[in-house]
């Protein structure tokens, strides 16, 4: 099992970031107002919710160098990320903790999950740059709506089949934006053709499939559009 100190070393996290991730894991496992994750052990939560999310940092950093918190990087502050079907907050919240220049919106349509996300964002003191929206993505990114073509990045993990993820994410992407979908390699083999077909209909171009070698989970990949 991969512990937070190992992740801290692997991803060059600060003590404050490690403390925030530790608090996040405590919150998601201890939430009593309705289940927001099927994970029960702390080790599994660290690996699945945090480690796998942080493995996206290299992919996200390749878009616009978002990791780090130095001054004078105004362009980085404008990178807007939508976490589609955020659920228990991954990968959006761990990415927000580890990459302070990201502006993150956590989107979910289930009220009990939105209540958790709102409480977690408040508890972590991140309300200044992490927003929670409780809505269906079809409404949030409908023509003329708040989320229409509003994001540089859309992340999605355990939301649905790749074609569905593409269809839901496309309307939220700004021109030049990218969808980063977390999948297992096995799932991608069966879903890629339909995902590429959906991308063609939605105006997206299939990009690279990046093995997430830094993830504690076996066979984790990121497929980009």
d(CA 84, CA 215): 20
pLDDT value of residue 113 = 95
pLDDT value of residue 2 = 73
Give the list of residues 6+ apart from residue 2 with CB closer than 8 angstroms, or none: 43, 46, 47, 51, 216
**Length of the chain in terms of residues written:** 225
Give the list of residues 6+ apart from residue 106 with CB closer than 8 angstroms, or none: 83, 86, 89, 92, 93, 117, 121, 130, 131, 132, 133
Q: Report the predicted TM-score, pTM, of the whole model to 2 decimal places.
A: 0.92
Q: Which residues does the chain have with pLDDT short of 50?
A: 65-76
On the 0-12 / 13-18 / 19+ scale of CB atoms within 10 A, 134 is middle
Two tokens, residue 16: 């404050």
pLDDT value of residue 203 = 97
pLDDT value of residue 14 = 97
Q: Do the Cβ atoms of 208 and 221 come closer than 8 Å?
A: no
């Amino acid at each position: 099992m991969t512990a937070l100190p190992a992740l801290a070393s692997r991803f060059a996290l600060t003590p404050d970031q490690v403390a925030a991730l530790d608090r996040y894991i405590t919150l998601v496992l201890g939430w009593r107002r309705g289940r927001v994750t099927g994970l029960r052990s702390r080790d599994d939560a660290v690996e699945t919710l945090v480690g796998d999310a942080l493995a996206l940092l290299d992919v996200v950093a390749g878009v616009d160098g978002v990791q780090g918190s130095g001054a004078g990087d105004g362009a980085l502050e404008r990178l807007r990320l939508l976490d589609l079907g955020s659920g228990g907050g991954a990968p959006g919240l761990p990415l927000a903790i580890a990459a302070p220049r990201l502006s993150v919106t956590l989107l979910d349509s289930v009220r009990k999950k939105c209540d958790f996300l709102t409480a977690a964002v408040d508890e972590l003191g991140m309300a200044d740059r992490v927003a929670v929206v409780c809505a269906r993505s079809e409404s949030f990114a409908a023509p003329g709506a708040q989320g229409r073509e509003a994001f540089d990045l859309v992340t999605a993990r355990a939301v649905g089949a790749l074609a569905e993820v593409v269809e839901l994410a496309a309307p939220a992407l700004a021109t030049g934006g990218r969808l980063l979908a977390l999948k297992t390699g096995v799932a991608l083999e069966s879903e890629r053709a339909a995902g590429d077909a959906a991308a063609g209909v939605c105006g997206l171009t299939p990009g690279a499939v990046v093995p997430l070698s830094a993830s504690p989970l076996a066979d984790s990949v990121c497929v980009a559009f």
